[in-house]
A and B are shown apart, each in its own frame.
Chain A
Amino acid sequence: MFTNLDVVKVGIAQLDVAIHTQTIRTSGLGSCVGVVIYDESKQIAGLVHVMLPDSALSRGGQLTVAKFADTGVPALVEIMKKRGAIPFKLKAKIAGGAQMFKFTSNQDSMRIGPRNVDAVKDQLRKLGIPIIAEDTGGNSGRTIEFNPQTSKLQIRTVNQGVKDI
């Protein structure tokens, strides 16, 4: 359905913005969360592929803002404002946060999916951005693609085919 449009591809722990004739996509979300923030009036959409809930988990030198929910979501909003999005018109759709493996052990990294989802929702609430639709949790990987012209988020999984939210 989006075949005649340019696709902006966003990798893991990255963020980017698409306008008008473009769509924006990220592939193979597992425990990661894809956060789409969009302004319908300007037909502009941003996507961040979040890996971890909180930048306080970072023990390295340099901080990659798009990796964490608490830094990635605000950073995306800032970039979108610079590209002409109107702050109070922003809405969000989110997908991901699955648990890919069922382990008996109660390890923290196994619960990372739900923690990512919670952290993303926290940030969106703080920024006053309503979540219009979500497809989170479960145990399937997801590829998502957003079309700023229709504001539809297409979600593809291996076992349940394709759906729009």
Chain B
Amino acid sequence: MDIQQITSFHLDVLKEIGNIGAAHAATALSSLLNTKIDMHVPQVEMVTFNDMMERVGGAETFVTGIYLRIDGDISGGMFFIMPVEQANQLIRKLIHDETFNFAQSPSELGLSAMQEMGNILSGSYLSALSDFTSLKLYPTPPALASDMFGAIISIGLIEVSQISDYVIVIDTSIIEQDEKDGTEEVSGHFFLIPDPDSFSTIFTSLGVQ
């Protein structure tokens, strides 16, 4: 399937995938942290690589990212990206260490907590996706990095960039409610970036042509 043949109906179908995956991941995160975690309606768009950089506030935004590759019936990349300040708060809560900081020689304990969280979140996202589509998915173990968003996300564009200048990204952001004043803030993004030749398999598995 040519990336140009993808219609708005197809994008809606992909939205459902983002919905189901991220809903499961948000539930997992919610029980892990014992707080209420919500999610936005997924955004599924065909964007240029440079538009992709604006998803989390520009190529230089300092983020913590978890990345894994998916193989099996379909292939692609998956990211869970948090602004580094949000990631710090999350890990401080998890390991009860107020000094933890991804920016300044982070402790092994905190790093492995983040790694483990990546395991849990991506695992629940992908198993929901696999159940929904009946496709076999084999993820690599997630890898962790804290750096500029552009530097991190570009590894997920390598496959796509061999075929196209556009990427179809399934972007679901999760939001956390502040316990004190009830304000909401985006705490992280799931990005699912299927390789271009995987789209027809996804659509066929869902009975869509």
Instruction: Please report A residues at the B interface, Cβ cutoff 8 Å.
Output: 11-14, 27-32, 51-52, 57-60, 62, 64, 67, 98, 100-105, 107, 109-110, 112, 139-143, 158-159
Contact = CB atoms under 8 A, between A and B. Distances in A.
A30 B69 CA distance: 17
Interface string B154-175: 1101110111110000000000
B150 interface: yes
Given A12-B154, A31-B158, A109-B159, 8 more contacts: A27-B58, A51-B157, A57-B162, A62-B165, A105-B69, A109-B155, A112-B158, A158-B62
Contact of A141 (B141, B143, B151, B165): B151
B147 interface: yes
A144 to B, nearest CB: 11
A29 B159 contact: no
A129 to B, nearest CB: 25
B101 to A, nearest CB: 12
A28 B59 contact: yes
Interface in B31-61: 49-50, 53, 58-60
Interface of B: 49-50, 53, 58-60, 62, 67, 69, 103, 140-141, 143-152, 154-155, 157-159, 161-165
A24 B163 CA distance: 28
B150 A29 contact: yes
Contact of A28 (B60, B161, B165): B60
Contacts of A140: 147, 151
Contacts, number: 108
A27 B148 contact: yes
A60 to B, nearest CB: 4
A11 B50 contact: yes
Residue from B140, B154, B164, B165 whose CB has the most chain A CB atoms within 10 Å: B154
A27 B50 contact: no
A100 B103 contact: no
Contacts of B165: 13, 60, 62, 64, 67
Nearest to A63: B165
B158 A12 contact: no
A30 B49 contact: no
A30 B161 contact: no
A158 B155 contact: no
Contacts of A11: 49-50, 53
B148 A158 contact: yes
